[in-house]
Amino acid sequence: MKDTKSNWKVLIMDKLTVKVMSYCCKMGDITAEGVSLVEDLFKRRQPLPSMDAIYFIQPTKENVVMFLSDMAGRTPLYKKAFVYFSSPVSRELIDHIKKDTTVLPRIGALSEMNLEYFTIDSQGFITDNDRALEDLFSDEENIAKLMREFPFVRYRAAKSLDPMTMTTLRDLIPTKLAAGIWNCLVKCKSIPNFPQNETCELLILDRSIDQIAPVIHEWTYDAMCHDLLNMVGNKYVHEVPGKTGNPPEKKEVLLDEHDPLWLELRHAHIADASERLHDKMTNFASKNKVAQLQHGSRDGGEISTRDLQKMIQALPQYSEQIEKLSLHVEIAGKINRIIRDQELRELGQLEQDLVFGDAGMKDVLKYFTTKEVVCRENNLRLLMIIAAIYPEKLEGEQGLNLIKLANLPPDDVNAVNNMRLLAPFSESKKVSTGGFSLKFDIHKKKRAAARKDRSGEQETWQLSRFYPIIEELVEKLSLGELSKDDYPCMNDPSPSFHGTSTAVSLIHETPVAHSMRSRRTPTWARPRGSDDGYSSDSLLRRASSNLKMGKRIFVFIAGGATRSELRVCHKLTGKLNREVVLGSTSIVDPPQFITKVKLLTANELSLDDLEI
């Protein structure tokens, strides 16, 4: 937008680029850059010959034809066109543009941006396209301009790569992605100003590394909002009082990083978030006489949503602050009611005990026989966790009895069976060397466990014991302890990078090769007012103490990432003093993941796609 000298510009986008833009900024941000009007490429538009136009569009033939028709002839719609394609443009389309001699002098810029991904927050993005990572790395010149990073490329090795077994195309996805990226990076090294030494680390995984994280109940505010409240993306719909005499109106709000309260609470345990909200509202009421009058004489009593609405009307100068507080009090209250009504605390305890090997099939049978079915989906999720840990327990008559006790319909049974077939190979017969291995505790009759307790981690809140596997993988990667057999490196790094603790400490103190990016502190760090230990503002205080951040760690999960995994990346950024960025093909909340598993076909689950 800086290329145009015009004071006000028109921004023209297509359906996909509108989505890209809406994920990363608001209309106010666009207006602040001098854009007075945002238009749809395919809608009839008013001619504005005195204004410059910025086209942010996909490089498709239809889009190029529309752009040329706007700018061709004696009376173009705009003064000059600054065209930015969201991905690499073909030579044929460039030639097509060049043929129109009336348009060429009216083009102020023509560039490729490689921006066909969607930011979830300041440390997470999704591609919404299974081939997006391959497409991104298909043009080495553009990737050299875009990334300015030369990563160590690590990937999850296919588990069945041995002479006696067969592997699936699904199992080879990380290997295939890593090979494609590495081939591109090798070519990039010949491009001027591209780093010649490694500047960061990239770990490529797929959903098979942790099949429990997408279905287990995660107890943080962010995860519970998306799990229990039927949200669409980050949109939450709630009722607000109508104008005098009118019924309540529905209002749509975004829960994102533009909301300071959301930024503070999103990674907090739901009990912690609820306490903080109550304290904030009580503190506000105690310091404001009008708020006290609206609250009434109920000293120490609960403040209701109606009380908050009265405060907004009585204190217009605080309306925005109280509206945000009122919104989150309502959300937290709704979540807590669902937790109580569905008896999720007891279920959550059983889920976590199963994962850590502290409960077994007897406990599951007791749960099914003593509890009434409050929510059938919760029974399904419990059986899917069992299918991931004990796939053999769901075979034959024993499996049929469990499913009968859970009272599942046929499509839910299909999800359980598919989850069992997706379980790591031969887990019941041998200990896998992968991140999703079975552990045995001799004190508990060798009961299988999918996780072991983290040393040095204290469980401040009940049901906060569970952690996604990537937390363990990223920590080991940072310490140079990640298995090269299970997670090979395309670069074959030297011992000076991974070998001893001394070598690792040098990464943080005097790295040999710096990123060409100018920013050396976390991109998401900004002052907010949270103190939960690993949210953005807490980390900012650490980052601002003149400590240099170590080399970035990028993690890409094909097949979808969970909100718990995104939370872990924020947490580890502070713990490791290295910015950890998570990318994936999508964000999978439990309902979406369950639907995907239900819809898996026999071909997608077969073990004979490809012989090695």
Say if residues 211 and 420 touch (Cβ distance below 8 Å): no
Residue 589 in domain? yes
Map residue 242 onto helix, strand or coil: coil
Residues 124 and 193 in one domain: yes
Domain boundary among 54, 77, 112: 112
Map residue 36 onto helix, strand or coil: strand
Which CATH number does the domain housing residue 575 bear?
3.40.50.1910
Written as one string, the DSSP assignment of 243-309 is: STTSPPEEEEEE-STTSHHHHHHTTSBHHHHHHHHHHHHHHHHHH-HHHHHHHTT-TTPPPPHHHHH
Say if residues 544 and 443 touch (Cβ distance below 8 Å): no
Residues 274 and 334 in one domain: yes
Residue 606 in domain? no
Residue 602 predicted with pLDDT over 90: no
Tokens for 515, please give them: 């990123």
For residues 113-127, give the mean pLDDT: 89
Q: For residue 104, give every residue at least 6 positions away whose Cβ sits within 8 Å of its Cβ, in sequence order, or none.
A: 97, 98
pLDDT band at 609 (very low <50, low <70, confident <90, very high): very low
Residues 15 and 79 in one domain: yes
Of 34-43, 319-328, 506-515, least confident by mean pLDDT is 506-515
Tokens for 360, please give them: 């077994």
Residue 520 predicted with pLDDT over 60: no
Residues 76 and 155 in one domain: no
pLDDT digits (tens, 9 = 90+) for 471-500: 999 999 999 999 999 999 998 754 444 433
Of 49-58, 139-148, 470-479, 555-564, least confident by mean pLDDT is 139-148
Share of the chain above pLDDT 70, in %: 73
Residue 609 in domain? no
Would you give the distance in Å from CA 169 to the centre of its chain? 25
Residues 319 and 363 in one domain: no
- CA contacts within 13 A on the Cβ side of 236: 24
Residue 172 predicted with pLDDT over 50: yes
For residues 537-546, give the mean pLDDT: 46
pLDDT for position 421: 84
Written as one string, the DSSP assignment of 409-465 is: -HHHHHHHHHHHHHSPTTTTTS--SSTT--EEEGGGTTEEES--PPTT----STT--
Domain boundary among 422, 444, 466: 422
Quick one: CA dihedral 446, 451, 454, 457, positive or negative? negative
pLDDT digits (tens, 9 = 90+) for 372-430: 878 899 999 999 999 999 999 988 888 899 999 999 999 999 999 999 888 765 433 44
Map residue 102 onto helix, strand or coil: coil
Q: What is the tally of structural domains in the chain?
A: 4
Sheet containing 553-558: give its strands across. 118-121, 124-126, 580-584, 553-558, 200-206, 151-155
230 in the Ramachandran plot: left (φ > 0), alpha (ψ -120 to 50) or beta?
left
Which CATH number does the domain housing residue 20 bear?
3.40.50.2060
Residues 176 and 245 in one domain: no
Q: Which residue matches tokens 């666009």? A: 30
Residue 262 in domain? yes
Q: For residue 51, give every residue at least 6 positions away whose Cβ sits within 8 Å of its Cβ, in sequence order, or none.
A: 6, 8, 9, 10, 36, 78, 79
Residue 186 predicted with pLDDT over 60: yes
Which spans in 462-583 are helix H?
469-479, 501-509, 536-543, 563-576
pLDDT for position 431: 39
pLDDT for position 187: 84
Question: CA 61, CA 90: separation in Å to the nearest integer?
Answer: 10
Map residue 561 onto helix, strand or coil: strand
pLDDT for position 168: 61
Residue 63 predicted with pLDDT over 70: yes
Residues 366 and 395 in one domain: yes
Residue 56 in domain? yes
Residues 397 and 362 in one domain: yes
Residue 427 in domain? no
pLDDT for position 447: 62
Question: CA 416, CA 406: separation in Å to the nearest integer?
Answer: 11
Question: CA 206, CA 265: separation in Å to the nearest integer?
Answer: 29
Which CATH number does the domain housing residue 286 bear?
3.90.830.10
Say if residues 355 and 385 touch (Cβ distance below 8 Å): yes
Residues 320 and 395 in one domain: no
Q: At what angle are helices 319-341 and 270-287 packed, to 10 degrees? A: 140
pLDDT for position 604: 62
pLDDT for position 164: 52
Q: At what angle are helices 410-422 and 376-389 packed, to 10 degrees? A: 20
Tokens for 497, please give them: 């990078």
Residue 507 predicted with pLDDT over 90: no
Residues 231 and 246 in one domain: yes
Higher pLDDT, 537 or 369: 369
Residues 329 and 239 in one domain: yes
pLDDT for position 149: 84
pLDDT for position 308: 59
Residue 60 in domain? yes
3-state secondary structure 147-172: HCCCEEEEECCCCCCCCCCCECCHHH
Tokens for 49, please give them: 């010959």
Domain boundary among 406, 422, 438: 422
pLDDT band at 519 (very low <50, low <70, confident <90, very high): very low
pLDDT band at 5 (very low <50, low <70, confident <90, very high): low
pLDDT for position 462: 81
Q: Which domain holds residue 276?
A: 221-294+302-342
Residue 99 predicted with pLDDT over 70: yes
Sheet containing 52-57: give its strands across. 35-40, 9-13, 52-57, 81-85, 107-112
Q: What value does the mean pLDDT of the chain take? A: 80
Of 44-48, 435-439, 574-578, least confident by mean pLDDT is 435-439
Residues 336 and 277 in one domain: yes
For residues 216-235, give the mean pLDDT: 94
Parallel, antiparallel, or unpaired for β 447-449 and 124-126?
unpaired
Residue 478 in domain? no
